[in-house]
Structure 1
Amino acid sequence: MKETVDAFHRGRFHVIQPKGEGHRSGVDAMLLASLVEGEGEISVADLGAGAGAAGLAVASRLDHAKVLLVERSPLMADYARKTLAYPENERVADRVRVIEADVTLTGKARLAAGLEDEIYDHVIMNPPFNDAADRRTPDALKAEAHAMSEGLFESWLRTAGAIMKPGGQLSLIARPQSIGEIIAACGKRFGGLEITAVHPRPGEDATRILVTAIKGSRARLAFRAPLILHGETGHGFTKEADDLNNGRAAYSRRKR
């Protein structure tokens, strides 16, 4: 399989990804990583990590973050290992590890796979976002990464809640049409939801939502001001989006 070596955060780290097949990480992964903030040693689990772009972006920006990449696909987990072995990732590689595990595992099977209870300060995820009936693709690897199964958010958030410390932060990026399922899946596990609609340009409909929530919180849901990625013309990022995309800033939760 052909592959590429792609630079992120202005070359501060690189990701090895399959070329022309499977899910390729980009802006979504960088926005997801920007949701993680903390001082000192923090532990982060990246569920459905693919080749590891979001998790490495966290480790790149936060010098004391330790990151677990969780990936079900043996092929993509192997790409994550290749990424960690890439010489130019030496600065972050010793704080990141990979396990092959199905995020939907429960009980003893989940524990046996290495997803232990109440370990992580942050759990981040970019779950498959297309309804299984919406798109068909001959690329089996891409279909696996993109096709949403029934009850996906419930099963992924159940695992996130199990492996996260009390008071830990859930962060995810998804399509706007999934908002109802996400809120329902948070249930009593997570509260204090903050939702940001991400718009490609001023006046255009949102194509993504950023969601953060706190385990065990009873705070009310808040819709934040929208995040605009590009100006009215051209392909350049807005200042805020460029800083988030290149690891110069975190997208901090509101101070309550």
Structure 2
Amino acid sequence: MAETGLRGPDTTTEDGFLGGRLRLRQYATGHRAGHDAILLAASTRAKAGDRVVEFGAGVGAAGLALARRVAGIDLVMVEIAASLAELASDNAAANAIAARTVVLDVAGSAEAFAAAGLPPDSADAVLMNPPFHDAVRHRGSPDPVRQAAHLATATTLEAWVHAARRLLKSGGTLTMIWRADGLAEVLSVLGRGFGSVMVQPVHGNADKSAIRILVRATKGGRAPLLLLPSLLLNGPSEQPDPVARAVLAGEQILPLAQS
């Protein structure tokens, strides 16, 4: 699929993740990988031999962080912007991680996915960090790559979840991160074809409302909703919480990846 004009600036930086065990090149301006990608990777359950597909991979931060933790997964990174997909592929090679990158619109047809080697019922796990800011309430960045990565349309969530449902095997898991005030929307969309939903709120500070939710759902699952204890990023003194620090350093995983 064509890149449709989504191209970032040429200048890149090299940044360390997981305590320096993962080095990623990314554009100096525009959308840049950060905490959300690492929290998503730390919430994704996978084992060696699993076909794992990352939607909206960007430069590959979440998928490659997962592959660094779980050796032997069959990782496919899906990204609409060819410039970012190229960086993701380069990052995989630079970190000696086996992965395949596909330039593809997540909201594309089943035929487009199949042509890219991603037929229905072929994945064990999908992880995704979709654009989740409401375009009505948030001013879009002038940078087209950053805007596409951040601003959701009215159909973004439904389209991405539908694509995950089609791609996953029965019993496969979808793991995602979304803004906390969109929980009702997430649960509504997951109600079609998913169950056994687990939710972990993420708080920036103990005295503030949650800013993100980490969600895992199982295709065809039947267990009731499970609300997990919150993850706190910063303690009362504004210092990183020890659990969050360990997760971001790749030393600990989150509950969604454990059970």
TM-score over 0.5 for the alignment? Answer: yes
Out of 42, 50, 58, the residue aligned to residue 50 of structure 1 is 58
Give the whole-Å Cα distance in 1 for the aligned partners of 2:40 and 2:68: 13
1:221 aligns with 2:225: yes
Instruction: Specify the code of the residue in structure 2 equivalent to 1:102.
Output: D
Q: How does 1:167-178 map to 2 (within 5 A)?
A: 167-178=171-182
1:201 match? 205
> Alignment partner of 1:138: what SS?
coil
Residue in structure 1 matching 2:70, options 62, 65, 85: 62
Q: Shift of the alpha carbon at 1:255?
A: 8.3
Pick one of 214, 219, 225 that aligns with 1:210. 214
- The residue number in structure 1 matching 2:185 is 181
Q: C-alpha distance in 2, partners of 1:97/1:148?
A: 26
Following the alignment from structure 1 to structure 2, what is the Cα–Cα distance between the partners of residues 181 and 132? 16
CA shift at 1:124, angstroms?
0.3
1:125 has 2:128 as partner:
yes
CA distance in 1, matches of 2:47, 2:144: 40
What is the rounded CA distance, in whole Å, between the counterparts of 2:205 and 2:79 in structure 1?
A: 32
Runs (5+) with no aligned partner, structure 2: 1-9
Which stretches in structure 1 are left out of the alignment for 5+ residues?
none
Evaluate the alpha carbon distance shift between residue 140 and residue 169 of structure 1 in structure 2; reply closer, same or farther with a 3 A threshold.
same
Asked if 1:155 is matched to 2:159, the reply is yes
Alignment partner for residue 11 of structure 1, among 20, 34, 38?
A: 20
Deviation at 1:171, TM superposition (A): 0.4
Question: Could you say which residue in structure 2 is the equivalent of 1:112?
Answer: 115
Q: Which residue of 2 aligns with 1:251?
A: 254
Structure 1 outlier segments of 4+, above 6 Å: none
Within the candidate set 89, 92, 98, 1:81 is matched to 89
Q: For each residue in 1:37-85, what CA deviation from the matched residue of structure 2 results, as whole angstroms up to 9, or x when unmatched?
A: 3443222110000000000000001112221100001111111122123
**Paired residues of 1:37 and 1:252 also in contact (CA < 8 A):** no
- Please, what is the CA RMSD of the aligned residues? 1.6
AA of the residue aligned to 1:16 = R
Q: What one-letter code is carried by the residue in structure 2 that aligns with 1:110? A: F
Structure-2 separation of matches of 1:238 and 1:66: 33
| Native 8 Å contact 1:42 1:65 kept in 2 | yes
Sequence identity of aligned pairs in percent? 34
In the alignment, residue 175 of structure 2 is paired with which amino acid?
S
Q: Which moved more, 1:145-154 or 1:110-119?
A: 110-119
The normalised TM-score by structure 2 is 0.91
Aligned to 2:80: 72
Candidates 143, 146, 160, aligned match of 1:139: 143
Tell me the TM-score normalised to structure 1 length.
0.92
Letter in 1 for 2:165: G
Q: Say which SS state the counterpart of residue 207 (structure 1) adopts.
A: strand
Deviation at 1:108, TM superposition (A): 1.8
Name the SS of the counterpart of 1:229 in structure 2.
strand
Is contact 1:227–1:241 with CA below 8 Å preserved after alignment?
yes
Aligned to 1:99: 102
CA contact (8 A) 1:188 1:216 kept: no
**252 and 41 in structure 1: CA distance in 2 versus 1, 3 angstrom threshold:** farther
- Distance between the aligned counterparts of 2:252 and 2:79, measured in 1? 26
1:109-161 Cα offsets, whole Å, 9 max, x none, are 33223321112111000000111222132111111111101111111011101
Shift of 1:254: 8.9
